[in-house]
Structure 1
Amino acid sequence: MPSHLPSRRDILKCSAAAGLSALPLGAFAQAAWPTKPVRLVVPFAPGGSSEIVARAVAAEMGKTLGQNVFVENKPGAAGNIAMQEVASSTDEHTIILGHIGTLAVNPYIFPKLPYDPGRDFAPITLVSKVPSLYVVHPDLPVKNIKDFVAYAKSKPGQVNYGSAGNGSAGHLAMEYLKMVSQTFMLHVPYRGTGPMLTDLMAGRLQAASVGAPALLSFIKAGKLRCIGTGTTQRLPQLPEVPTVAEQGFPGFEMTQWYGLLAPKKWPAANLAKLEAEAVKATRGALVKDKLAQETALAVGNSSAEFAQFIAAEQKRWKQVIARAQIKPEGLG
């Protein structure tokens, strides 16, 4: 064979190169995802359990994703503003911390949502379950749930409680207690847990139910009194505080939960990578230890398991919302 003729190997090399050059640039971009820092949106004001959970998992994910993961709080409209923004985002680097309120409550209290939990979002992993605690201002003359219920019944409509907003986990928790105890209390919604706790500790509110991570330091400092836990068993961090179930309401359970979601329109490969890294981070010792210090349980399940969990929670809270007649602000 003349030396100037191309060999079979040369022809194959040229064909391979031509094939690669014909690939769209997006193929390389997807393979390299993420190409810039990932924004984790928290749909509530700073100072609550959601921010603690988000920062714990974001810090660990940033170590293995190849890009930093930064947390951005975006409160408003019971989380609807942030959910809508992330659902319509197109940068493929914006994810959100889903929550009992935005995923299992808002679909049943708002006549029309600017997002659809099932259609617009891909569940990634359930990051954490957080025990709900029932607390009062220390000046309130009650030591436990029994005292509190008796006090509220003696002053119908005069006891007020705060929450992070209409349809928030704290709102649900207190309405759930009102329902089982047949008491009447006034609800004062805030734009986030932080500002609500400020007013509670200042005595402008009398009671609230909040996730344990945001409360423990205030309880230990004597700024708030914990009168009951929403867990099925007493918490090791508060062994002297009985559960609500122990105090005359058998079967009572109330926990908040948080999980990661991404826009469903993302490429499957990017969703799979995000899931793998999120699960790895959530199951890691550092996140588990960090959340345990705050009385939160790290989960880290698969996207399919998280989807099933969301469906079960929607079914449960749809019934509670209907019975308690919870409506968003302005529609009640």
Structure 2
Amino acid sequence: MHTNSEDSLAGTRLTRRRLFQTGGSLGLGGLLPSLASAQATWPTKSVRFVVPFAPGGSSEIVARSTAAELSNTLGQSVFVDNKPGAAGNIAMAEVARSEDQHTIILGHIGTLAVNPFIFDKLPYDPNKDFKPVSLLAKVPSLYVVHPDVPAKNLTEFIAYAKSKPGKLSYGSAGNGSAGHLAFEYLKMTSGIFMLHVPYRGTGPMLTDLLSGRLDASAIGAAAIIPFIKSGKVRCIATGSAKRLPQLPDVPTVAEQGFPGFEMTQWYGMLAPASMAPANVAKLSAETMKAVRSPAATERLRGDAAEAVGGTPEQFAQFIASEQARWKKVISRANIKPD
């Protein structure tokens, strides 16, 4: 038979046990949901998406298409901030030093796979100062000639160029530009020799190509398809892995005797190295959804761009492979910045 003192002691122990359990749930147990909630609520303010180029062109379309969809999925606005200059180096250096957790940047074939090999010194390290988030899109380069050039396809053009070594010229938007790389890659692959004429931008180069002062060029699909459709230039090959829906009758370079050849400008999302891993993971997952959404895919398709998406690991591997490929081309062609 229990005494009143035993009942009181048992009750006290029970009360203490309950208080301990309650206190634990309010203490450590209560802290864990708070931490999870803090991670889940990122971003806590608008996200700044830096584009290291002037407004206009494929970079603008890729960035704005992605930002529009991300604004819906992240629950915070994502706004594009153009910061051109020094082949993208100014913006890359700025974002590399950012620590606010709400600044990201558009990575590009130039800033990640070309600049490291044409500049003696960069103000950023493309592999250490950034965390890959996701590959966003690819924009194929199209190989075109002036209508006076007697070549209907790439095979005929290569034969024509080899019959006139050093007498034909091709133009680009500048030394180290995507068009410069594209044609040098074709030259290296096919064994032709042509003169390179660098311009300060696609616009003035295109003017000379249309007038016949240049024989050929490699240009991003969006900028040149209207002139192909109007017959002002002739497309002899696409640098894409497969034929473009906009030009179904034009074969790829790979189809015309060079298996595995692909030349595309590409764009991806990078975060500064200081961004928390959990934030990068969330951003990557939401970016994949955004870029593969019907709305974004349709916008990009209108610019002859291919929506990609992918994990940070896949994007990191892609960057490494592109760096290895373009290092060889740049070294062989002795490409230097303007």
What TM-score does the superposition give when structure 1 sets the normalisation length? 0.82
**How many matched pairs?**
323
- Rg (Cα) greater in structure: 2
> Which residue does the alignment assign to 2:196?
186
> Which residue does the alignment assign to 1:118?
127
Preserved CA contact (<8 Å) 2:67 2:80? yes
> Which residue does the alignment assign to 2:177?
168
> Which residue does the alignment assign to 1:129?
138
Aligned mate of 1:81, from 77, 87, 90: 90
Q: Closer, same or farther in 2 for the Cα pair 1:17/1:137, shift >3 Å? A: farther
Q: Closer, same or farther in 2 for the Cα pair 1:157/1:48, shift >3 Å? A: farther
Q: Closer, same or farther in 2 for the Cα pair 1:75/1:155, shift >3 Å? A: farther
- CA distance in structure 1 between the aligned counterparts of 2:239 and 2:210, rounded to whole angstroms: 24
Moved more, 126-135 or 88-97: 88-97
Give the secondary-structure state (helix, strand or coil) at the position aligned to 2:301: helix
Is 1:209 equivalent to 2:209 in the alignment?
A: no
- CA distance in structure 1 between the aligned counterparts of 2:297 and 2:314, rounded to whole angstroms: 19
Q: Closer, same or farther in 2 for the Cα pair 1:234/1:27, shift >3 Å? A: closer
Q: Closer, same or farther in 2 for the Cα pair 1:110/1:287, shift >3 Å? A: same
Is 1:294 equivalent to 2:294 in the alignment?
A: no
Preserved CA contact (<8 Å) 2:171 2:209? no
Q: Closer, same or farther in 2 for the Cα pair 1:205/1:83, shift >3 Å? A: farther
Q: Closer, same or farther in 2 for the Cα pair 1:52/1:197, shift >3 Å? A: farther
Give the secondary-structure state (helix, strand or coil) at the position aligned to 2:124: coil
Give the secondary-structure state (helix, strand or coil) at the position aligned to 1:44: coil
> Which residue does the alignment assign to 1:230?
239
1:60-75 equivalent positions in 2, closer than 5 A? 60-75=69-84
- CA distance in structure 2 between the aligned counterparts of 1:124 and 1:188, rounded to whole angstroms: 33
- CA distance in structure 2 between the aligned counterparts of 1:8 and 1:51, rounded to whole angstroms: 62
> Which residue does the alignment assign to 1:57?
66
Amino acid corresponding to residue 126 of structure 1 in structure 2? L
> Which residue does the alignment assign to 1:261?
270
Give the secondary-structure state (helix, strand or coil) at the position aligned to 1:118: coil
Preserved CA contact (<8 Å) 1:152 1:159? no
Amino acid corresponding to residue 239 of structure 1 in structure 2? P
Cα offset for 1:153? 6.3
- CA distance in structure 1 between the aligned counterparts of 2:71 and 2:329, rounded to whole angstroms: 38
Aligned mate of 1:150, from 138, 160, 168: 160
- CA distance in structure 2 between the aligned counterparts of 1:130 and 1:94, rounded to whole angstroms: 24
- CA distance in structure 2 between the aligned counterparts of 1:107 and 1:221, rounded to whole angstroms: 38
Aligned mate of 1:39, from 43, 48, 61: 48
Q: Closer, same or farther in 2 for the Cα pair 1:153/1:162, shift >3 Å? A: farther
Is 1:101 equivalent to 2:101 in the alignment?
A: no
Identity %: 58
- CA distance in structure 2 between the aligned counterparts of 1:317 and 1:242, rounded to whole angstroms: 24
C-alpha deviations, 1:115-142, integer Å up to 9, x for none? 0011100000001122111234557666
- CA distance in structure 2 between the aligned counterparts of 1:58 and 1:204, rounded to whole angstroms: 39
Preserved CA contact (<8 Å) 1:103 1:117? yes
- CA distance in structure 2 between the aligned counterparts of 1:197 and 1:47, rounded to whole angstroms: 17
Moved more, 8-17 or 226-235: 8-17
> Which residue does the alignment assign to 1:159?
169
Q: Closer, same or farther in 2 for the Cα pair 1:257/1:151, shift >3 Å? A: same
Q: Closer, same or farther in 2 for the Cα pair 1:198/1:170, shift >3 Å? A: closer
Structure 1 segments unaligned to the other structure (5+ residues): none
Cα offset for 1:84? 0.9
> Which residue does the alignment assign to 1:306?
315
Give the secondary-structure state (helix, strand or coil) at the position aligned to 2:128: helix
- CA distance in structure 1 between the aligned counterparts of 2:88 and 2:198, rounded to whole angstroms: 17
What TM-score does the superposition give when structure 2 sets the normalisation length? 0.80
Q: Closer, same or farther in 2 for the Cα pair 1:234/1:14, shift >3 Å? A: closer
Q: Closer, same or farther in 2 for the Cα pair 1:155/1:312, shift >3 Å? A: closer
Moved more, 105-114 or 8-17: 8-17
Give the secondary-structure state (helix, strand or coil) at the position aligned to 1:119: coil
Give the secondary-structure state (helix, strand or coil) at the position aligned to 2:236: strand
- CA distance in structure 2 between the aligned counterparts of 1:205 and 1:72, rounded to whole angstroms: 36
Give the superposed CA RMSD: 3.5
Cα offset for 1:62? 1.0
Structure 2 segments unaligned to the other structure (5+ residues): 1-7, 9-14
C-alpha deviations, 1:231-261, integer Å up to 9, x for none? 2433221123233344555553211211100
C-alpha deviations, 1:72-111, integer Å up to 9, x for none? 2222222111111111223322211111111111111111
> Which residue does the alignment assign to 1:177?
186
